Amino acid sequence: MSKSSVVGPDWRAFDLFEFARASRSAAGTVAVGALPRMVNEVGEVGSEARGNLRTNDVGAGKIVGDAAEASQHDGLNDESNESVSWAARGESREKTGSATELYLHLTIEAAPWVECQRCLKPYRQPLDIVATYLIVASEEEADAVPLDDDEVDPIVGSRQFDLYDLIEEELLLSLPLVPKHAVCPSVHEALVTGEAGDIVIERPDEDEPARRDASDNPFAALQALKRDVPPKNDA
Q: What is the pLDDT, as a whole number, of residue 216?
A: 53
Type of residue numbered 111: A
**Do 179 and 205 share a domain, yes or no?**
no
Residues contacting 155, CB < 8 A, separation 6+: 104, 133, 134, 135, 136, 142, 166
**Do 159 and 206 share a domain, yes or no?**
no
Element (H, E) at 18: helix 16-21
**Domain assignment present for 18:** yes
8 A C-beta contact, residue 114 and residue 125? yes
**Do 55 and 127 share a domain, yes or no?**
yes
Report residue 99's pLDDT band, with 50, 70 and 90 as the boundaries. confident
8 A C-beta contact, residue 5 and residue 140? no
**Do 95 and 205 share a domain, yes or no?**
no
8 A C-beta contact, residue 58 and residue 52? no
CA-to-CA distance for 94 and 130, rounded, in angstroms?
A: 23
**Do 28 and 97 share a domain, yes or no?**
yes
**Do 6 and 88 share a domain, yes or no?**
yes
Task: Say how many C-beta atoms besides its own lie within 10 A of residue 126's C-beta.
Answer: 13
Its pTM surpasses 0.75? no
Task: Choose among 88, 89, 111: nearest CA to 38.
Answer: 111
What residue numbers bound the domain in which 202 lies?
Answer: 192-228
Query: Of 85-99, 141-155, 213-227, where does mean pLDDT reach its minimum?
Result: 213-227
CA-to-CA distance for 143 and 129, rounded, in angstroms?
A: 24
**Do 173 and 212 share a domain, yes or no?**
no
**Do 120 and 206 share a domain, yes or no?**
no
8 A C-beta contact, residue 120 and residue 113? no
**Domain assignment present for 61:** yes
**Do 153 and 214 share a domain, yes or no?**
no
Q: How many domains does the chain have?
A: 2
**Do 35 and 86 share a domain, yes or no?**
yes
The pLDDT tens digits of the residues spanning 135-181 come to 999 999 999 988 777 789 999 999 999 999 999 999 999 999 999 99
**Do 159 and 97 share a domain, yes or no?**
yes
**Domain assignment present for 235:** no
Q: What is the pLDDT, as a whole number, of residue 41?
A: 87
Q: Identify which has the larger pLDDT, 182 or 170.
A: 170
**Do 27 and 108 share a domain, yes or no?**
yes
Type of residue numbered 82: E
**DSSP H stretches of helix in the chain:** 16-21, 36-53, 66-74, 139-144, 163-174, 218-228
**Domain assignment present for 115:** yes
**Domain assignment present for 109:** yes
**Domain assignment present for 233:** no
Residues contacting 6, CB < 8 A, separation 6+: none
